[in-house]
């Protein structure tokens, strides 16, 4: 029987951490996290989610890919924008690119496959928190840039869902606002 109190606390207190340092999850921990992520809802067991792991010097190569893509989108990008693109993957010791591999299916539209991969990305973040790590899900222009997709060797039927930055939180968790769930619940009356 799972520890319901700890699970609910995790779900209600998880928040993004933009400042991350080493250590990152180990290979075994990452495998455990991906195992949890693959339990996301998945109509017809299509398994559309893929995880590209980028660590060590590969993060610098990803930064160069981000810079090249930026310059193709905006040839007049200034030095600050270029430095930001180069440095983006260095904000964490581990970056996991979550992708969705879309397949045609008579009962499972691409939109459901994207949602499943999104749930997997969130489950990866939850699993990281459960193991004592922290992370942040980032998208931005790079997530939708065909140049970045090509640089990551994605096929034409693959899309980037997000870049999950993982590591150890530096400093305190940011304060979470109080949210009254009743403000978000609607009751339908026919």
The Cα–Cα gap between 49 and 177 comes to 31
Residue 180 lies in a domain: no
Q: Would residue 11 count as lying in a domain?
A: no
Q: Which helix (H) or strand (E) holds 19?
A: none
Residue 3 within a domain: no
- pLDDT digit string, tens, across residues 114-173: 999 999 999 999 999 999 999 999 999 999 999 999 999 999 999 999 999 999 999 888
- CA dist 96 and 98 (Å) reads 6
Domain around 131: 18-54+94-171
Total structural domains within the chain:
1
**SS3 of 127, please?**
helix
Instruction: Indicate the pTM of the whole model.
Output: 0.94
> 185 lies in a domain?
no
Average pLDDT score over the chain: 96
Residue 153 belongs to some domain of the structure: yes
The CATH number of whichever domain residue 120 belongs to comes to: 3.40.109.10
Residue 5 lies in a domain: no
């Amino acid at each position: 029987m799972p520890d319901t109190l700890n699970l609910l606390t995790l779900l209600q207190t998880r928040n993004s951490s933009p400042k991350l340092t080493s250590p990152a999850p180990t290979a075994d921990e990452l495998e455990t996290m991906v195992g949890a992520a693959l339990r996301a809802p998945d109509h017809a067991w299509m398994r559309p989610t893929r995880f590209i792991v980028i660590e060590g010097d590969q993060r610098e190569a990803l930064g160069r890919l981000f810079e090249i893509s930026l310059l193709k989108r905006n040839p007049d990008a200034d030095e600050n924008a270029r430095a930001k693109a180069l440095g983006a993957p260095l904000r964490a010791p581990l970056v996991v690119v979550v992708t969705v591999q879309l397949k045609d299916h008579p009962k499972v539209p691409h939109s459901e496959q994207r949602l499943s991969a999104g749930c997997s990305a969130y489950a990866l973040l939850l699993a990281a928190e459960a193991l004592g790590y922290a992370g942040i899900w980032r998208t931005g222009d790079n997530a939708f840039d065909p140049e970045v997709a090509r640089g990551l060797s994605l096929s034409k039927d693959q899309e980037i869902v997000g870049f999950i930055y993982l590591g150890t939180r530096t400093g305190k968790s940011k304060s979470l606002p109080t949210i009254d769930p009743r403000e978000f619940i609607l009751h339908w009356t026919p």
